[in-house]
Amino acid sequence: MANVAEPGKVVAFYSFKGGTGRSMAMANIACLLARETAGRPVLMIDWDLEAPGLHRYFRKHFFAAFHGSEERQDKTPGLIDLFIAIQQRLDEMLPQDDQGAAELIASLPLKDYIITTDIPGLDLIKAGQFDGDYPQKVGSFNWTSLYARSPSLLRHLAARLAADYRYVLIDSRTGLTDTSGICTMLLPEILVTVFTPNRQSLAGVINLVREAGRYRARSDDLRPLVIYPLPSRIEASEPTLRQQWRMGDASAEIVGFQREFEDVFKQIYDLPSCSLRTYFDDVQIQHVPKYAYGEEIAVLAEGTADRLSLTRSFQRFSAMLAAGQLPWATAPAESEALAEDVDDLTNVYERIREQTSAAYLRQAEQALDQLRTRARRFTIGSFAARIAGTIASAAVAFFALAPSLFEGKSTVVAALSVIATVLFSVESAVLGRAPTLMADVSKVFGAIQAFRLKLAPYDKEDALERLRDTVEPVLAHPGDKRPMRNVSVYVSFRRDEAARAGRLAEALRSVIGRENLTFDWDSLPLGANLRRIADNLIAQSDVVLVVIGPGWSQSGRLTDTSDIVRLEIMTALQKNKTVIPVLVGGATMPAESELPADIRELSYRNAIAISDARWDADIIPLIRSIQRLSGTPDPLSAR
């Protein structure tokens, strides 16, 4: 590959928490930059070694390299294999000075680790060769020792890649780890911090930005580090919350991400003043539910780049990145156009929400009519049983008063007596449910009317969710006289299966209620002891669902005794909870030999497989099982 005079840019994408859409953003931006590099390619590197996934976005674009063979793709070496080769060369050489590090990097056959995609001008170094040794290779590699032996080696590697590529984009590990420090402080000259508007995600990113700025200021690396905040998964249909989390709300103790970045930029760049209003008017990646499923690249999948598309949002940020425009020096003209875009997008989401509410109301009113009909049938049935029972009782009494008239008819009298008893029992059972059904009718009718009139508690932005929480448990168990003991469910999952786990949680909420489901950790305060909290929550739960996706047991984390997923499963098994493995994305049940000793019992638990194509049908047996555990009737068989 021919070198050019101007070196390329090394850009790292970092998020403190998973689930921010960081890899998706990098994949889309890489495709856009590849279109504009005029023959000089773009390289992507998956440095998220513990949870690799960048290559999955491009699985449809490896035909030229692998001709559709996933086995060949998995066997291709990647980043961890490259660094193992570097480590071996260091072991064979004397302690390295700067010149020795440069010569070592220059001698590497980098082309052996690079995959050329079918997208013109776009290459990839995946995390590694995905075989049985991958977790061990990742878990045992000592990054601190590598840096201590040759501090300049990583910088020379970045320089060599930048000589061949216009952009080198690095998908960094989340959190505060050795590899995330390499990706955010040592390698890049541009750092894109992807975050969602919540305290954990934002606080972690702000602290990392502050540390990266301080490190670069103290180091002998003369390259400036330009930081671009990228708010992601912004819900355009929630204008109040969007404004609150961006600009701040003292009453809710929310500082606002714009102010937090303005303050940290003034500190690390020594700016007398800093305004990011225009920048954040222009740079926000909206949440589009379609892209929560699978690994689609919006800029390739969308047929348009109009103002309401994800493509347009990524184009705006890519253009700013390519132009080297500093966040605090954004031209206001473009922000006015984006403000119009956001207003248009908000209007579209408002219309969608209104249509969704109207459709749900129609369904709820149809179910209410069926509930009314059922209540009337129970009432009529109870009176019919009473009348028939009364007639049978009267006949028995008449036979008792005139036994001589019915001599030899004792069998008939006994039968009538039994019939009367049965009819009165039926009448008692049926009539007992009728008032409960009528109460359910009144509850559902009142909730629907309050929702239509926007009365409390249906006067806020979560009105539709509140209506569902009120109506659906009633419709699922109409007329149930027994006090319903909702089963409590804890969902354990890894972040690479957050989308499917979220879809599962959404289905469970309508059955057991939001308060009986433990799913999202983002609301926990910073500094909370996750192990202790998980232990307490699992102790209070009846069922623990373990979401297992492809590669779940091959990720390398299960070998770590502090891995939160391993701890969750171990705690649930020790406390004799009902543990149900949920296999998603085509995953298979891990064998006993693949699991650590303290959770091997999981391999013997009866699992349920839920496919993306048959999700709604496959999930029904799981919901039925949970309802049986709660002691409530199965609404799917009680119609």
- Counting beta carbons within 10 angstroms of the beta carbon of residue 136, is it exposed (0 to 12), middle (13 to 18) or buried (19 or more)? exposed
pLDDT tens digits for range 597-623: 889 899 888 899 988 777 766 777 787
Q: What is the predicted pLDDT for the residue at 23?
A: 92
3-class state of residue 610 by DSSP: strand
Q: What is the predicted pLDDT for the residue at 550?
A: 84
Residue (of 510, 508, 505) closest to 472 by Cα position: 510
Go through 502-537 and write b for each residue having 16 or more CB atoms within 10 A of its CB, e for each that does not. bbbbeebbbbbbeebbbbeeeeeeeeeeeeeebbeb
* Arithmetic mean of pLDDT over the chain: 79
3-class state of residue 568 by DSSP: helix
Beta bridge partners of 627: none
Q: What is the predicted pLDDT for the residue at 385?
A: 65
Residue 160 has pLDDT above 80, yes or no: yes
Q: What is the predicted pLDDT for the residue at 2?
A: 42
Q: In what order do the strands lie in the sheet with 489-492?
A: 517-518, 489-492, 543-548, 578-584, 608-610
Distance CA 188, CA 155 (A): 9
- Of 391 and 293, which is predicted with more confidence? 293
Q: What is the predicted pLDDT for the residue at 382?
A: 63
Place of tokens 């705006």: 316
Reported as a pLDDT band with limits 50, 70 and 90, residue 146 is confident
Write down the H helix ranges in 150-198: 153-164, 178-181
44's tokens = 């992507």
Q: What is the predicted pLDDT for the residue at 100?
A: 82
Place of tokens 């972690």: 204
What is the phi-psi region of residue 253: left when phi exceeds 0, alpha when psi lies from -120 to 50, beta otherwise?
left
pLDDT tens digits for range 238-281: 888 989 999 998 888 899 999 999 999 998 888 888 999 989 98
Residue 417 has pLDDT above 70, yes or no: no
Cα separations in angstroms, 511 against 142, 380, 443, 508, 612: 47, 30, 17, 5, 21
Range with lowest mean pLDDT among 1-15, 297-311, 353-367, 412-426: 412-426
Distance CA 88, CA 91 (A): 5
Q: What is the predicted pLDDT for the residue at 314?
A: 92
Range with lowest mean pLDDT among 16-20, 77-81, 121-125: 16-20
Reported as a pLDDT band with limits 50, 70 and 90, residue 482 is very low
195's tokens = 């975050």
Range with lowest mean pLDDT among 121-130, 137-146, 353-362, 491-500: 353-362
> Residue 43 phi/psi, 5° resolution?
-115, 130
Reported as a pLDDT band with limits 50, 70 and 90, residue 637 is very low
Residue 415 has pLDDT above 60, yes or no: yes
537's tokens = 């929550």
576's tokens = 């004799």
In this prediction, residues 199-228 reach a mean pLDDT of 83
Longest dimension (CA), the chain: 124
In this prediction, residues 412-431 reach a mean pLDDT of 56
Range with lowest mean pLDDT among 7-16, 153-162, 176-185, 291-300: 176-185
- The answer to whether 351 and 345 are in contact (CB under 8 A) is no
124 residue type, one letter: L
Q: What is the predicted pLDDT for the residue at 633?
A: 43
Q: What is the predicted pLDDT for the residue at 526?
A: 60
- Of 458 and 585, which is predicted with more confidence? 585
Residue 341 has pLDDT above 60, yes or no: no
Q: Which of 55-64, 122-131, 140-149 has the highest mean pLDDT?
A: 122-131
pLDDT tens digits for range 510-544: 667 777 888 765 555 566 677 787 888 888 888 99
- The answer to whether 41 and 53 are in contact (CB under 8 A) is no
Q: What is the predicted pLDDT for the residue at 540?
A: 87
Q: Which residues contact 103 (CB under 8 A, 6 or more apart)?
A: none
Distance CA 73, CA 118 (A): 14
Distance CA 104, CA 526 (A): 43
Distance CA 22, CA 205 (A): 13
